[in-house]
Amino acid sequence: MPGPFTLGQIASRLGGRVAGDPQTLIRQVGSLERAGDGQITFFNSKKHQAKLGETRAAAVILAPENEQLTRLPRIVADNPYAYFARVSQLFNTAVTQALGVHSSAVVSPTVKLGKGVSIGAGCVVGDDVVIGDDSCLYPRVVLYAKSILGKRVVVHSGVVIGADGFGIASEDGRGEGPWIKIPQIGGVRIGDDVEIGANTTIDRGALDDTVIEEGVKLDNQIQIGHNCHIGAHSAIAGCAGIAGSTRIGAHCTIGGGAMIQGHITIVDHVHVSGGTAITRSILKPGTYTSLYPFDEHGAWKRSTARLRRLIRGKRDA
């Protein structure tokens, strides 16, 4: 673990302004509640002002407007959370796995590995896969044949990249089974600096490729269907599902458990709330929501019955 650094050393590396003793020695980051001796924390919201008063951290990162809320040694920065992220990266490596290919991994001889790659225990890497420099597969990742990963891609355990998309044709054309399988002959291309959470799945394309652009961050248990295209620097939270052939723009965020229909387009800078179902294209940046409000079960039941009557009554009228 690198460090320790003084507050002054941190500010000279990362910017920001020190208030209080610049010689304060920092060894690690910590939360407002639990940070102690030698630990620096951050303060981001007035909601936590009581915690700030009680923290035993050695120093705090906060915004200019909050500078006077504590007498602790501190670093004043415009974006305290981003600053905190940078400080944590000073003390902690983002990837915690040894370099090289673990002896239990099964890696095709036709794979092309960049420099500084780490492939964990039990990974399976198929034919003609390409993995860029400094990328890391944690244990038990599967990359089907021909998947292409950029540089500094981090893939967590249980992820499956390049499995067949859900491509089936109705035998009689009426949208019901029996089904004829459409061989999935596209690939998957993943850009630089993408991170993919545990047990997420990204299907190979049916004909063309599934594409995840650079800087995309995917949480756990996300499903990305075949031929999706996720734009640069978008972030998708856990349990979201993106159906096939949908195109999501750059700088979007998709909340946890959101379901995005297939064959639609979502432009750049769109934010979808958690639990929301998106059923048609979104062509205007903004935030979109579809939640039906929760309520105590009895009240919900009455409201729902009332709602039915309202709708029916009006229709009949």
Choices 15-23, 64-72, 109-117, 298-306; region in contact with a second copy by CB under 8 A: 298-306
Among 221, 229, 248, 254, binds a second copy (CB under 8 A): 221
| Residue of 21, 181, 140, 26 whose CA lies nearest to 125 | 140
In angstroms, give the least distance from the CB of 117 to a second copy. 18
Nearer to a second copy, 21 or 102 (CB): 102
Q: Check residue 239 for interaction with a second copy (CB under 8 A).
A: yes
State residue 283 phi and psi, 5-degree precision. Answer: -110, 5
Task: Tell me if 134 contacts a second copy by CB under 8 A.
Answer: no
Q: Which of 14, 113, 182, 267 binds a second copy (CB under 8 A)?
A: 182
- In the complex with a second copy, the residue whose CB is nearer, 19 or 206, is 206
Q: Where are the alpha helices (DSSP H) in 18-163?
A: 49-54, 80-91
Q: Is 61 left (phi over 0), alpha (psi -120 to 50) or beta?
A: beta
DSSP 213-256: -TT-EE-TT-EE-TT-EE-TT-EE-TT-EE-TT-EE-TT-EE-T
Of the pair 5, 84, the CB lying nearest a second copy is at: 84
Interface with a second copy, residue 281, by CB under 8 A? no
CA distance 236 to 209: 20
User: With contact defined as beta carbons under 8 Å apart, do 97 and 79 qualify?
Assistant: no
Which of the residues 45 through 74 are near a second copy (CB under 8 A)?
none
Choosing from 86, 101, 114, 265, the residue that interacts with a second copy (CB under 8 A) is 86
Is 226 catalytic? The answer is yes
Q: Which is nearer to a second copy, 7 or 252 (CB)?
A: 252
CB of 89 to a second copy, least distance (A): 6
Binding residue for a second copy, selected from 12, 104, 110, 281, defined by CB under 8 A? 104
Q: What is the three-class DSSP state of 270?
A: strand
Say whether residue 283 binds a second copy (CB under 8 A): no
CA atoms within 13 A on the CB side of 198: 3
Active-site choice (48, 102, 156, 226): 226
User: Cβ distance 244 to 262 under 8 Å?
Assistant: yes
Residues present in the chain in total: 317
Question: Residues binding a second copy: what is the number (CB under 8 A)?
Answer: 128
Among 157, 247, 265, 267, interactor with a second copy by CB under 8 A: 157
Q: Does 265 bind a second copy (CB under 8 A)?
A: no
CB atoms within 10 A of CB 50: 10
Point out the residues that are catalytic. 226
